[in-house]
Amino acid sequence: MYSSFLSKEFIHKNRLVLAGIILIGVVNSIVTFLLPVSIGNFFILQFGSEGSKGRLLQLLGIHFSSLPAFFIFFFALIGAKAFTGMIERWLSLREGEKFIKMVRERLFEAQIKSSTESFSEKSYGSYLLRYSNDLKAIKDYLLKGRLETWESSMFLLVGIGLLCLLQLQLSFYLITFFIVIVVAFIMLSRYQKKYISESRNRRSNLLAFVTKSFSRHLRIKQQVTEENSINRFRLKSEKLYEANMENNKLESLQQSLVPVLQFTMLGFLLWISTFLKPAINYSDALVYVLVTLMLMSSMRRILKVPGYLNKGNISLQKIEELLMQELAAPAAVKKETITA
């Protein structure tokens, strides 16, 4: 996996803010988890029933002596979710924008300071993709590939700890299955890398051709070569289409596999539970399944992380290579001058 010096620099400079975002995100996830779970206590207090959610609250050490106490707790959770959700989202978007702002300013500065010979070697249209599509991938890299990974992982650890209290042996199988699925997605993401790069290169090539053609519009009209330009554009557009479709096949496979593998994992757990010795009782089994279902959103986000990191790394690698080339060129010229 490519190691990005830009992301390392940004994370190091903003580590306290990013750590705060992760902490707020974990709190928001816990509140989201407690909201549906706490409803079980309403039925216990109002109807005297004992449900799986009531059992889960007992494990968490949460008890209510009256309905007013329950409603105070419930609406406090709603308020906490609204506040933490808004703050976490706003701070995340702010840091994401700060990150891509730093990247594009560094890139523009390096390119504008580069020598004319170095810059003219490549059509300027080839650089434009670095300021548009690549920046979105970089933003997702930070927000969904890094921050959400920590938030989801920490919440998942809390949930798995609760599952271990319910049934340790079953939790071992759950952890094993999930690790196998994550490794499979990492391998699939690495395999997809060449298709993403091909798609990006084709898109960059097409954009460079468009900017070059438009800058020569008058010459094309004078030489009556419109049809030749159109045919060349169609050929490049067709190649971009084919590259995108190859990438889309793997993208569709990844997206469709996430829920399928999650429920396959749950099915295996249910099957294994029929062989456990000593057998898991009805109440604990129901709570176990309930908690597992609540953790699936975090699992889903983690399974999508390799894709975000992969796309972000490809974009960062291209930008950082451009930065190194542009910065190295003036130094080489200066060295030659001194030698002369």
Q: Where are the domains of the chain?
A: 5-189+258-339
Q: How far apart are alpha carbons 208 and 203 in whole angstroms? A: 9
Alpha-helical regions (H) of the chain: 5-13, 15-47, 52-60, 67-112, 116-120, 125-128, 133-140, 148-166, 168-215, 217-223, 226-273, 282-339
Residue 140 has pLDDT above 50, yes or no: yes
| CATH 1.20.1560.10 assigned to 5-189+258-339 | yes
% of the chain exceeding 70 in pLDDT: 86
Which token pair is 311? Answer: 């796309």
- Asked if 79 and 28 touch (Cβ cutoff 8 Å), the reply is no
Q: Considering only 68-72, 121-125, 128-132, which range has the smallest mean pLDDT?
A: 121-125
pLDDT band, very low/low/confident/very high, at 267 (cuts 50, 70, 90): very high
Q: Which pLDDT score is estimated for 26?
A: 92
- Asked if 284 and 166 touch (Cβ cutoff 8 Å), the reply is yes
Quote the radius of gyration of the chain (alpha carbons, Å): 27
Q: How far apart are alpha carbons 91 and 229 in whole angstroms? A: 47
pTM above 0.85?
no
Q: Which pLDDT score is estimated for 337?
A: 47
Q: Which pLDDT score is estimated for 124?
A: 57
Averaged pLDDT of the chain: 84
Residue 330 has pLDDT above 60, yes or no: no
pLDDT band, very low/low/confident/very high, at 111 (cuts 50, 70, 90): confident
Q: Which pLDDT score is estimated for 45?
A: 74
More confident residue, 158 or 223: 158
More confident residue, 282 or 244: 244
